[in-house]
Amino acid sequence: MVPEGDLASVLADLRPRSGGGGLLAADATRCARALGVDGVAVSVTGGGLNELLWCTPGASAELEDLQFTLGEGPGPEAAASGTAVMVPDLAREPADRWPVLLPEALALGIRAVIGLPLLVGRVCLGTMTMQRAGPGPLEGAALTDARIVTRAVTATLVRDSGQWDAFAAAEDGSHFYRAAVHQAAGMISVQAGVSVAEALVRLRAHAFRHGRPLIEVADDVVARRVHFRHDDGDEPGGFAVGGTEGP
């Protein structure tokens, strides 16, 4: 069990501060250590898209990028269901649960994952995803502590209006890491004549197929180095990709 003082200090850092900072001022690595996991990440959701807000470096950051790119994993599942998603051993999980993510996560050295929704009533604001390099469940006092942290994170998001308003305005070009993804999805929607949700699927498929980070492909779309259009190209679904100028 984590010493009470360690968890208390993490919670203190998660509280909104009068001078700003809020969640981003907390140390994600120290939070992971306090919860007895190897990594933790918080993403907020809205409009069918999501934004990585807070994360330990390394495997957790890569796992979040995979979940964002593929649209599958404990985070997306927890957000959709509004309930905890806990997989104590990815190596024993049926391959058809997360068919693309499972082998990728195992290759990162991740064996156990826990996804907890950030809930306000029945509304899910986002998720907190935890991972371990070794198999084993998160239970008892450790799971209780993790739920306490999710409540503190949720309270911070709700009360720190500056952070939440900035995320809500991401489609207008905020400073968030994935703002380019939101903008690129909008551009692809116009270019290909599909919904924004379908545009994001096409963007994810292209990034994964070519083994590139989603944010890099999004930057290319925004810079008009990559263009999705109605054509018989090499992309799934009849979308050609090239350097053609467009919206």
Residue 19 within a domain: yes
Tell me the residue type at 37: V
For residues 154 and 32, state if they share a domain.
yes
For residues 80 and 118, state if they share a domain.
yes
For residues 102 and 184, state if they share a domain.
no
Helix, strand, coil % in the chain, rounded to nearest 5: 50, 20, 30
DSSP state of 178: T
For residues 25 and 141, state if they share a domain.
yes
Q: How far apart are CA 197 and CA 202, in angstroms?
A: 9
Q: Which of 128, 150, 168 finishes a domain?
A: 168
Angle between helices 161-168 and 140-159 (to 10 degrees): 80
Q: Which of 111, 146, 168 finishes a domain?
A: 168
- The CATH number assigned to the domain holding 206 equals 1.10.10
Residue 247 within a domain: no
Q: How far is CA 226 from CA 16, 65, 230, in A?
A: 40, 20, 14
For residues 119 and 228, state if they share a domain.
no
For residues 199 and 158, state if they share a domain.
no
Residue 64 within a domain: yes
| Residues 141-160 pLDDT 10s | 899 999 999 988 887 777 65
Residue 238 within a domain: yes
How many CB atoms neighbour CB 160 within 10 A? 19
Angle between helices 196-209 and 179-192 (to 10 degrees): 110
| Residues 171-189 pLDDT 10s | 333 445 566 777 788 788 8
Q: Residue 109 has which token pair? A: 């050295």
For residues 157 and 214, state if they share a domain.
no
b/e 109-148 (16+ beta carbons within 10 angstroms → b): ebbbbbbbbbbeeeebbbbbbbbbeeeeebeeebbebbee
For residues 93 and 196, state if they share a domain.
no
Domain around 129: 4-168
pLDDT tier for residue 242 given thresholds of 50, 70 and 90: low
| Residues 188-239 pLDDT 10s | 888 888 877 778 778 878 887 888 887 888 888 888 888 887 643 444 444 4
For residues 105 and 148, state if they share a domain.
yes
Three-state DSSP state, 68: helix
For residues 36 and 87, state if they share a domain.
yes
Residue 173 within a domain: no
Residue 50 within a domain: yes
For residues 11 and 119, state if they share a domain.
yes
Residue 162 within a domain: yes
Number of domains in the chain: 2
| C-alpha closest to that of 47 among 152, 229, 178 | 178
| Residues 108-122 pLDDT 10s | 999 999 999 998 888
For residues 21 and 143, state if they share a domain.
yes
Supply the pLDDT for residue 22: 45
Residue 205 within a domain: yes
